[in-house]
Amino acid sequence: MDGLLAAKVLLVDDEEEFIDLMSQRLETRGLKVVTVSSGEAAVTTVADQSFDVAIVDLAMPGIDGIETLKQLKAERPDIEVIMLTGQATVKSGIEAMKYGASDFLEKPVDLNVLMEKIWAAKRERMRSLEKKSAEELKNILKSKSW
């Protein structure tokens, strides 16, 4: 997986069978996976732990995938979010991207495609974090009068 450290993934879906199977399949590919079954639980979990990528189901009871996406991005702007849906519409895809989703995939999802999207999202997150720290370092150096 191009030498990246194992990505830490939050899997958010209200379908228990899907979440159990998908987390097992992702873990056998070397990912660290935490699962939750609601948007509310996802927001609470992200407040306590850092993740590279969140995979969020669009249609869930309580707060739906779009609202979950908004709250995750508000809590952790650097988290990459991949939306999954069983009933994709162009409108929901556009809305998800507008609120910061890095990708939008239809169920049943091809695991190889999902793995590619997870690694691309992890690389993007690492790039943005490196850029942010470089800017912070530059600002610190500017503020010193040596």
Angle between helix axes 39-48 and 65-75 (nearest 10 degrees) is 10
The reported pLDDT for the residue numbered 86 is: 84
Q: What CA–CA distance (Å, rounded) separates 57 from 60?
A: 7
For the cut 50, the answer to whether the pLDDT of residue 3 exceeds it is no
Q: Does residue 136 sit within a domain?
A: yes
Q: Which domain holds residue 23?
A: 8-143
Which domain CATH number covers 98?
3.40.50.2300
The reported pLDDT for the residue numbered 22 is: 96
- pLDDT of 17-60, one tens digit each? 999 999 999 999 999 999 999 999 999 999 999 999 999 999 99
Q: Does residue 123 sit within a domain?
A: yes
Strand-pair category, 103-106 with 80-85: parallel
- pLDDT of 111-140, one tens digit each? 999 999 999 999 999 999 999 999 999 999
The reported pLDDT for the residue numbered 1 is: 42
Q: Does residue 62 sit within a domain?
A: yes
Q: Does residue 18 sit within a domain?
A: yes
- pLDDT of 83-112, one tens digit each? 998 876 778 888 999 999 999 999 999 999
- Report the domain count for the chain: 1
The reported pLDDT for the residue numbered 146 is: 65
For the cut 50, the answer to whether the pLDDT of residue 6 exceeds it is yes
Cα four-point dihedral sign 95, 132, 36, 43 = negative
